[in-house]
Amino acid sequence: MAVNQLLRVPMFMSRTDLFCRFGGLMGTKKFASSIVNDGSAKDLRTKIVDDVLVVTLDLQNAKVNSLNVSMTSEIKSILQELETNSAITSAVVISGKPGCFIAGADISMLEKCRTLEEASNISKEGQDFFHQMENSRKPIVAAINGVCLGGGFELAMACHYRIATTSRTTKLGTPEVLLGLLPGAGGTVRLSELSNVTTALDLCLTGKRVSPNRAKKIGLVDLLVNTLGPGLAPNEENTMQYLEKIAIQVAKDIASEKLKVNRGSKSLMDKVLKASMGVDFIRNNIFKTAQKQVLRLSNGLYPAPLKIIDVIRTGIEKGTSAGYEAESKAFGELVMTPESKGLISLFRGQTECRKNRFGHPKSEVKTVGVLGAGLMGAGIAQVSVNNGYQVFIKDTSIKGLARGVEQIQKGLDAQVKRKRISVVECNQIISKLKPTLDYKKFQNADIVIEAVFEDLKVKHAVISELESIVPPHCIIATNTSAIPIKNIAEVSSRPENLIGMHYFSPVDKMQLLEIITHPKTSKETTAKAVAVGLKQGKVVITVNDGPGFYTTRILSTILYEGIRLMQEGVEPTELDNLTKRFGFPVGAATLFDEVGIDVGAHIAFDLAKAFGQRFSGGNLNLLQDLVLAGFLGRKSGKGIFVYDGTQGKGSRPVNIDFLTVVKEKYSLVSKGANTTEDLTIRMVSRFVNEAVLCLEEGILDNPLEGDIGAVFGLGFPPFSGGPFRWVDHYTASKLVEKMKSYADLYGIAFKPAQTLVDMAKDSSKKFYPN
């Protein structure tokens, strides 16, 4: 076995993939009453089948199971009953929730922690709880159907045997890293013991969810069962009944020693890897490789991945006791970090933005029309048809229509390849897509989303054409990134049915949808648009109308300042480094090229016209010159950088012609504030200040949606929690002081919002009180 095969540590930490359901661990408290015989517990049900205790987890008033104080206490009480009741020889733990074993933990307990010791004690209590399960004299079988994450997965690992259904909803994983944490109930140690060190690193560092088949292959599941037993109809109830039946039989067989649980190394690779852990050189290189990849992908801005590596290494080198101790200590430290608090805040916000705060619409949208089969239109059609809508997609030419359909088909084929859907399901989905060149196909549409060229005259023509065809109840949604919706609605005969739906490219991958209401948009229209976005799988923020709305407006400020910095002599590569070191996934100069310099120029002139000198910064004529020269960014092969396909994984070469234009026509002498920190904060402060102004002006309804929009739509550093959470941590007083010093040099663009000034005077004022 070549050493480099042992060192193939997977990709560990992606800054653009930080969000999935939290899994962690809740603490326990004593719960004295016996609950086995009467089944009266609040969060679980019990029964005895033959001599097997069946514990059904069913958290009250909740769609999913999570480990909270009461549930863990009840399970702990049951463990005591299991040990002392001679009529019981084994136990099965199963869920009463469709598609969910245990989704994770109630994170509110972590949010209440005020000291490192409090947080570490939660971990220690959890470890003790699962040690009690693991050391039970009577076998406990985990019967898993649906998501089994974080603390739920740690509970399953503490059981003596794990059975999982092959349902697509069944996923196992330790996603704590996505909230700036690590598995705190023994997960870092048990993962290594049940599988191997590279699997433990992979799962803990990425937070990925693995399929039941994969979990079985890597030793985390002992037995797979089909979602249906012989002769049973395909439904969730039958699946659970069949799973319970199999689990009971397995528990009986283990108790009677008819079934021996043997988890020796299952493959040659496992055996070699286990043996290699005793070789200092190989072991050191595995962990060094992991650390190197983490630092490369995270720029060292996320403390959790590095802690995970240290904790797993401690368990491997010094034994399980030392591993558990290191885990609880690191868990406590991470809970108290601003990075974890920021990521938990985002998780809360993401959850809220998956709800419809405008209530349930009076009627359901069933048929979606999409006007325009370009990159954006095809993406909108894809997420619509993929989530159950019948979709009519229209373009002006057969060629354009075919290109759009091909894009959608490729997206679905990729899902088949990744085994997210079957070939049959793929065909069923694509059958709901109806390409057309005729407006008449929209005559029964409930909503039409137009994704045509970003030009007011074109938008007006489209609105008039659509309203002559679509039924009176039909919503017309305009996908625009900057044109005020009220301006588009000027030609509408039904302005109450018109709304903005700003998608982000690529639509099938970007989670955010920014919905924009204008003064005449009805509440029913808004409720329906939000419902459509949620069904499309989006995280939805709803903002009021204004130039650039929210996301485009705040992004423009950082780009304007970036232009000025390049005029002052900051190299494009260094500009990228400044923003990436702060935590943005894409550098400011590269972002210009990705957006398209022509698009950026169009938006920049419109916003500068709307906001005047406050949007001053770099010379916008520079952008116009680049457009005239054909330097449009990535799409034209040249922009600020060169995209000729010859570069490897290293940085792209800077466009020499761009540098020449800057130096010959637009060069500026810096007025000061040009340290690395100041160059960064000059860009970031304008971004954050504009977000606060949007809140002041009523564009935003609340800071939470502002943070979600900035992170999920624009890549503001997730670990910060978003611009508003960042202000709370950085402090308004420090930010205002910086901005005033910049304003002395560069003028009104750096005038701090009054809200920030007020907060700077009173340190008790924060956007988030906790």
Would you name the residues annotated as active-site residues?
514
Residue corresponding to tokens 């008449």: 440
Tell which residue, 715, 719, 720, 683, has the closest CA to residue 586.
Answer: 715
Surface-to-core class of residue 320, CB atoms within 10 Å of its CB (0-12 exposed, 13-18 middle, 19+ buried)? middle
Q: How many CA atoms lie within 13 A of 140 on its CB side?
A: 26
**Hey, what are 666's tokens?**
């637009």
Residue pair 408/433 in contact by the 8 Å Cβ criterion: yes
Cβ neighbours of residue 529 closer than 8 Å, sequence gap 6 or more: 447, 475, 477, 499, 501, 515
- Round to whole Å and give the CA distance between 701 and 721: 17
CA 479 from centre of chain:
23
- Residue by residue, DSSP assigns 139-162 as -EEEEE-SEEETHHHHHHHHSSEE
557 DSSP β-pair partners: none
- Cis before residue 506, ω within 30 degrees of 0? yes
Residue pair 412/418 in contact by the 8 Å Cβ criterion: no
CA 483 from centre of chain:
28
Cβ neighbours of residue 453 closer than 8 Å, sequence gap 6 or more: none
Tell which residue, 149, 40, 50, has the closest CA to residue 102.
Answer: 149
- Round to whole Å and give the CA distance between 253 and 383: 47
Helical segments of 159-302, H only: 187-194, 197-206, 212-217, 236-255, 268-276, 280-298
- Round to whole Å and give the CA distance between 550 and 541: 10
What are the angstrom distances between the C-alpha of 575 and each of 295, 455, 548? 20, 31, 24
**Hey, what are 719's tokens?**
């670990």
What are the angstrom distances between the C-alpha of 290 and each of 196, 199, 202, 282, 521? 14, 12, 9, 12, 52
- Round to whole Å and give the CA distance between 346 and 353: 10
Rounded CA Rg of the chain: 28
